[in-house]
Amino acid sequence: MAFMALNMQIICRSWLVLRLSSDSPFALAMVTMAMAVPLTVLSLFGGALADRMPRKQVISVCFAGNASMTFLLATLDMTGLIRFWHLIVIGVINGAFMAFNMPSRQALVADVVPKEGLMNAVALMNSAMNITRTVGPALAGVLIIYVDTSGVFFLNGGVYLFSIICFSMIHLDENVSLRSGKRMTEDIREGLSYAKRDATMRGLIIMLFVPSLFGFPYQTLLPAWAREALDVGSDDLGYLMMIMGIGALTGSLFLASLKNVKRRGALLLTISLVWGISIALFSKTSSYIVAFPCIFVIGAMNAIFMSLDMTLLQVYSSAEMRGRMMSLGLMTFGLMPLSAIPFGVIAEGIGTGNSLMISGVVLAILTLAFTHWNREFSEIA
């Protein structure tokens, strides 16, 4: 439910930004950055908090904070008092709540699911996320017509409150001994040291950052590429994004269906390589029909990779470090929109297709280089 509210709010917030800024793309980027920066900067603190406080409590407080900010946004919008700077400030606060919420949410999965079913559980959770990513924006787009953006924001606030009720029903005997008497900065330093000296943790985190920098710029540049390469309208662009979402959902469900997967490290590296090659091939597509299977594969590889890597982080991290390891992985979610900036600059100079080609090729090359220098990573079960 919370992910549905988030995805509905993204499209609703974007529509409101365009209305307030006379259709400024830069304004859209600013609002996206407002959420991305605190998510990147504060995730480490969120991970430390997840390892020193009951995770259900952290999640519920963050949901309550998001609900209050959403109701405030709805009220400002409904009364006509909304200004662009309000969206920036509220975006920063929402991003901060996400930074503290997401490490606890991810770590909580390992607290309630047996180790042997963890990969399937994470994949199913990501399947739900991908469903909301497909349905949420479309639903919000329709609702805006009937209840305006303010009505959708009020609905989202109610969804966050409902999520708090749902989380309160989860019975979990959390280990209060995980609470630390150290300062939070010491907990963060301890987590970074743990990730650095543990070869498996180090490899998994590196392999999260590489695709975040070189595998995700296509999401931001897709509209510009579609206009340049295919000369499509908004409806055809919507179909492309829908196919990408269907691919992500299919990939998540495929991973959830797998049983007793051996050498998951090798599978992760293979998915990363195919992801990079798919982006490179997609960048040179000149046919709308051919673009469909390419974007489907990219979406599927994206979803499988992220689900699998986050699963392995939880499986191989110790219980007292799990929240901090999740925070290192989740920092990549904040880097995703930031990584599009240099490739956007490249696209301005040599074209969007060439920029996407570079990102895909670099992702494939770095994956091969990592595989060569970390041969033991392929043996991760």
Burial 16-33, CB ≥16 within 10 A → b, else e: bbeebbeeeeebebbbbb
CA 314 from centroid of its chain's CA atoms: 17
Kindly report the CATH number assigned to the domain that includes residue 340.
1.20.1250.20
Token pair recorded at residue 227: 């206009």
Burial 278-316, CB ≥16 within 10 A → b, else e: bbbbbbebeeeeebbebbbbbbbbbbbbbbbbbbbbbbb
How confident is the model at residue 177, as a pLDDT?
Answer: 45
Q: Cα dihedral angle (355, 360, 364, 365), rounded to 10 degrees?
A: 0
Distances (CA, A) of 13 to 82, 367, 369: 12, 36, 40
- Whole-model pTM: value is 0.73
How confident is the model at residue 196, as a pLDDT?
Answer: 86
Q: Residue 110 CB: number of other CB atoms within 10 A?
A: 20
Amino acid sitting at position 129: M
Q: How many domains does the chain have?
A: 1
How confident is the model at residue 176, as a pLDDT?
Answer: 46
How confident is the model at residue 24, as a pLDDT?
Answer: 66
Low-confidence ranges of the chain (pLDDT < 70): 1-2, 23-26, 28-29, 110-111, 115-116, 119, 126, 130, 133-134, 137-138, 172-182, 233-235, 238, 337, 381
Who's near 17: CB < 8 A, 6+ residues apart? Answer: 24, 27, 28, 31, 84, 87
- Show the domain range for 335: 2-379
The rounded distance, in Å, linking the Cα atoms of 320 and 314 is: 11
Is 304:254 a contact under the CB 8 Å cutoff? yes
pLDDT tens readout for residues 103-155: 887 777 766 777 667 767 777 776 777 677 667 766 777 788 888 889 989 99
The rounded distance, in Å, linking the Cα atoms of 302 and 155 is: 30
The rounded distance, in Å, linking the Cα atoms of 215 and 302 is: 8
How confident is the model at residue 133, as a pLDDT?
Answer: 64
